[in-house]
């Protein structure tokens, strides 16, 4: 079968790497791809926003499955256009992708279905927001409504911070926001494949969102991750599926907008049990890199079963028990304007040291590989424990020669401390 992969980041390199291992695969195409993805796929110059061009390509190249990596084409309805043209696609419709695209939509669904999440108010003006702030007290969380690439959220510890976040948001005409209760606990991510009806738990992970060591500095798309997340015990995972994920999937089907794809649940493990922080309608980046490292099944077969609504007939997903950990190397300046063009060497050395290097913002320059974006590489390894996976990943990082790059030194440290305590 020929497969077309949409996207060109570290998540998509990990997907390409795993798709390429499937005995079912004939040709893997990727649009736009990147130099890492090119090792596994034929890159095609397709305008992803031109849905007719994408469906036309699928027809002329006998593509049997399209895998959509990022959220933007989902929210833009690419999956709808492909389905309408009779092409099997892994990824939700635009209506279902609202679970990620609109925080207000998700909060209202949680309220209707009795899904545990932070108490909230949807506000459409500065005055409504101020009234909500008065009700909630501090700490409080202020969120822009709509896709904001992880940047539209302020966790305000003081009233003043909350008010200035609200003032910033409503400086734009027509802005809407969600004001919500602050949840205390540890964050964890759970991934679940669903074809709109059947569920297949697909692993857990913990991300490191702040740019600096010790969780300091601004939020990023993610500076590192590990999988599995031991704090999400099998009992807590089962509780999350029963109280959060399954009722969501049922509610989406009941309103005629079934969700098909991967549901990425961002959870807070509170004293009162798991609560939903947010949903994403796609794999996490860099969580996907550690999930793919551990996934032991056939990714083409699995994603095709989701696309063709046959997921219920498949056995549970199998993952290697050995944990995986990834360290993101970013370009100086990230998450602000990154310095692009810096030369990158040493990928072979990193891989000889036992790592797997997934490329994100890279391009082929006149003198070889160079940086083309904020997050540049995700250096990934596995080991018998999170501690060993961590050592292997940092040993591989040491092989990389990218003078413009920087990375966090404490990925997975908290989990390693817990492993030590448990011994």
- What's the 3-state SS for 266-322? EEEEECCEEEEEEEECCCCCCHHHHHHHHECCCHHHHHHHHHCCCHHHCCCCCECCC
Give which of ligand GLY, ligand AMP, none residue 153 binds (C-beta under 5 to 8 Å, depending on kind). ligand AMP
- Contact region for ligand AMP (CB under 6 A) — 92-100, 150-158, 210-218, 336-344? 150-158
* Among the listed residues 41, 52, 70, 63, the one whose alpha carbon sits nearest the alpha carbon of residue 373: 70
* Among the listed residues 235, 205, 211, the one whose alpha carbon sits nearest the alpha carbon of residue 223: 211
- Asked if residues 200 and 186 have their Cβ atoms less than 8 Å apart, the reply is no
- Contact region for ligand AMP (CB under 6 A) — 148-156, 223-231, 285-293, 388-396? 148-156
- C-beta of 149 vs 157, nearer to ligand GLY: 149
Q: Is the peptide bond before 339 cis (omega within 30 degrees of 0)?
A: no
Is residue 370 near ligand GLY by the rule CB under 6 A? Answer: no
Cα distance between residue 189 and residue 277, in whole Å: 10
Binding to ligand GLY, residues 298-317 (CB under 6 A) = none
Give which of ligand AMP, ligand GLY, none residue 141 binds (C-beta under 5 to 8 Å, depending on kind). ligand AMP
- Asked if residues 354 and 381 have their Cβ atoms less than 8 Å apart, the reply is yes
Give which of ligand AMP, ligand GLY, none residue 284 binds (C-beta under 5 to 8 Å, depending on kind). ligand GLY
- CB 74 to ligand GLY: min, Å: 13
- Contact region for ligand GLY (CB under 6 A) — 192-200, 284-292, 349-357, 402-410? 284-292
- C-beta of 17 vs 136, nearer to ligand AMP: 136
Is residue 222 near ligand GLY by the rule CB under 6 A? Answer: yes
The H or E element containing residue 177 is: strand 177-181
Cα distance between residue 315 and residue 293, in whole Å: 20
Among 280, 289, 362, 382, binds ligand GLY (CB under 6 A): 280
Among 180, 285, 298, 370, binds ligand GLY (CB under 6 A): 285
Cα distance between residue 97 and residue 121, in whole Å: 21
Question: Could you count the other beta carbons within 10 Å of the beta carbon of residue 209?
Answer: 17
Residue 338 dihedral angles phi and psi, to the nearest 5°: -75, 150
Is residue 187 near ligand AMP by the rule CB under 6 A? Answer: yes
H-state helical runs in 38-93: 51-60, 71-75, 78-84
Give which of ligand AMP, ligand GLY, none residue 22 binds (C-beta under 5 to 8 Å, depending on kind). none
- Contact region for ligand GLY (CB under 6 A) — 234-242, 277-285, 301-309, 413-421? 277-285
Q: Which residues bind ligand GLY (CB under 6 A)?
A: 150, 207, 221-222, 280, 284-285, 287
Binding site for ligand AMP (CB under 6 A): 118, 141, 143, 150, 153, 155, 180-183, 187, 209, 266, 277-278
């Amino acid at each position: 079968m020929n497969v077309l992969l949409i996207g060109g980041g570290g998540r998509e390199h990990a997907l390409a790497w795993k798709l390429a291992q499937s005995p079912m695969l004939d040709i893997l195409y990727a649009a736009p791809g990147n130099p890492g993805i090119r090792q596994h796929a034929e890159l095609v110059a397709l305008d992803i926003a031109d849905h007719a061009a994408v469906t036309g390509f699928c027809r002329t190249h006998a593509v049997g499955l399209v895998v959509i990596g990022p959220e933007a084409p989902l929210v833009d309805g690419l999956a709808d256009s492909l389905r309408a043209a009779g092409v099997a696609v892994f990824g939700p419709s635009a209506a279902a992708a609202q679970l990620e695209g609109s925080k207000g939509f998700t909060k209202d669904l949680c309220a209707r279905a009795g899904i545990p999440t932070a108490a909230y108010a949807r506000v459409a003006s500065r005055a409504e927001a101020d009234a909500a702030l008065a009700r909630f007290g501090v700490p409080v969380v202020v969120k822009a409504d709509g896709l904001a690439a992880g940047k539209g959220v302020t966790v305000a510890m003081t009233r003043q911070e909350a008010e200035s976040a609200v003032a910033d948001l409503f400086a734009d005409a027509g802005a809407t926001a969600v004001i919500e209760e602050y949840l205390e606990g540890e964050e964890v991510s759970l991934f679940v494949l669903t074809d709109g009806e059947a569920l297949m738990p697909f692993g857990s992970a913990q991300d490191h969102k702040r740019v600096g060591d010790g969780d300091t500095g601004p939020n990023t798309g993610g500076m590192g991750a590990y999988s599995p997340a031991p704090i999400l015990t099998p009992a807590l995972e089962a509780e999350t599926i029963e109280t959060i994920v399954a009722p969501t999937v049922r509610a989406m089907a009941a309103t005629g907008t079934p969700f098909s794809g991967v549901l990425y649940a961002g959870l807070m493990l509170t004293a009162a049990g798991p609560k939903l922080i947010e949903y994403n309608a796609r794999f996490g980046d860099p969580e996907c890199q550690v999930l793919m490292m551990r996934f032991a099944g056939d990714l083409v077969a699995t994603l095709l079963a989701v696309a063709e609504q046959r997921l219920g007939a498949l056995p549970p997903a199998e993952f290697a028990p050995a944990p995986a950990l990834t360290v993101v190397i970013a370009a100086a300046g990230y998450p602000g304007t990154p310095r692009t063009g810096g030369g990158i060497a040493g990928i072979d050395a990193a891989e000889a040291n036992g790592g797997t290097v997934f490329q994100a913002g890279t391009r082929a320059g006149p003198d070889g590989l160079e940086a083309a974006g904020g997050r540049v590489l995700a250096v990934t390894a596995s080991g018998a424990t999170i501690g060993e996976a961590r050592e292997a990943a940092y040993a591989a990082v040491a092989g990389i020669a990218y003078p413009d790059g920087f990375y966090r030194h404490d990925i997975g440290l908290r989990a390693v401390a817990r492993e030590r305590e448990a011994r």
